Amino acid sequence: MRFVKPSRPNVYTGGTLDRAGHLREDAAWVERAMAGEAARYVVFWQGKTLIEGGARGAPRARLVRRPAVETAAVFLGLLDGVPVFAVDFSRLENPYEVIEAGEAAFADMRGVSGALPVDDATILATARAMLHWRGRTAYCSVCGGRTAPRKAGYVMACMACDTEHFPRTDPAVIMLVARGDFLLLGQSHKFPRERNFYSTLAGFVEPGESLEDAVRREVFEEVGVRVGEVVYHSSQPWPFPASLMLGFYAQALTEEIVLDESEMRAAGWFTRAQILDRARLGFDLPPPDSIARRLIDDWMGDEGGGDS
């Protein structure tokens, strides 16, 4: 199996945000920073976040000054020395009443994330992941007691038994399976039928399993194909809602497809020519912000998967 280098960083990776983990320990500093003039806030509301400039084709994340309402914020880090926090205002009926949104409006970040500046995309991804985790950690999984944030929101501590719960991210393998000049792409029931897009296979890593074993198991479960060599490509945080995608190329040892119809709508072997000609053939590839698309584009190399 040839080694295919990532052509560029994945969306939601890189950037200059300094997570400044040591500052989370300093409750007095966090308090001062939150109240300071310089502080900026990423606001989420019912799964959406503030985006401006989209109409001009140059979307940006809108970071606002301290909202006019008390809230438990998560400290994301320092951006050029500016402390950046994340808050979730989903419970408010009208979040615009407590923030200076300017011309920004709440929007689904996935609609624009491929076009966002690198720092904006990584900050939004981090904020979304942290706020989702915190929202799901209101109660202690040991004793059922209420939890409260510590360490600038990076710990949820049980007020009854003092167990500390830490942010979690769920590893998932995502793999482009190849055999000679053919690529194995599939369509999950989760994909919108009308888009008719074909993507790499993917699945969650189970406890006690290596990444390579997870690749082989998932491919066999979903399409009945045996995989030999597995080569790492790159990773991508995927806060939709809580995954870390670990991307691989996998060498198929067998060809026959036996579809797991409970998970997959369709799967098949595709040639490069078919992938390049997909508009005429009536199918599409996954969205450009996804590592799935990067795996396909990088494998296609100079021919590229195209920009659509």
Return residues touching Zn ion (CB under 5 A): 140, 142-143, 145, 158, 160-161, 163
Q: Are 87 and 32 in contact (CB under 8 A)?
A: no
CB of 137 to Zn ion, least distance (A): 11
Closer residue to Zn ion, CB minimum distance, 17 or 158: 158
DSSP string, 95-159: GGGGS--TT-EEE-GGGTGGGS-HHHHHHHHHHHHHHHHHHT-SB-TTT--BEEEEGGGTEEEET
Select 40 or 134, whichever has its Cβ closest to Zn ion: 134
Q: How far is the CB of 143 from Zn ion (least distance, A)?
A: 3
Q: What does DSSP say about strands 74-79 and 147-150: parallel, antiparallel, or unpaired?
A: unpaired
The nearer residue to Zn ion, 7 or 141, going by C-beta atoms, is 141
Q: Rounded to the nearest whole angstrom, what is the least distance from the CB of residue 168 to Zn ion in the complex? A: 16
Cα gap 293→10, rounded to integer Å: 10
Please answer whether residues 222 and 263 qualify as being in contact, where contact means their C-beta atoms are separated by less than 8 angstroms: yes
Nearer to Zn ion, 8 or 146 (CB): 146
CB of residue 138 vs Zn ion: minimum separation in angstroms? Answer: 12
Residue 138 vs 142, nearer CB to Zn ion: 142
Q: What is the rounded CA–CA span in Å between residue 268 and residue 186?
A: 6
SS3 content of the chain, % helix, strand, coil (to 5): 30, 30, 40
Least separation in angstroms between CB 111 and Zn ion: 39
Query: Minimum distance between the CB of residue 305 and Zn ion, rounded to whole angstroms?
Result: 48
Q: Which amino acid is at 61?
A: A
Q: Which is nearer to Zn ion, 148 or 161 (CB)?
A: 161
Q: Which H or E run includes 215?
A: helix 211-223
Give the Cα separation of 262 and 173 in Å (integer).
19
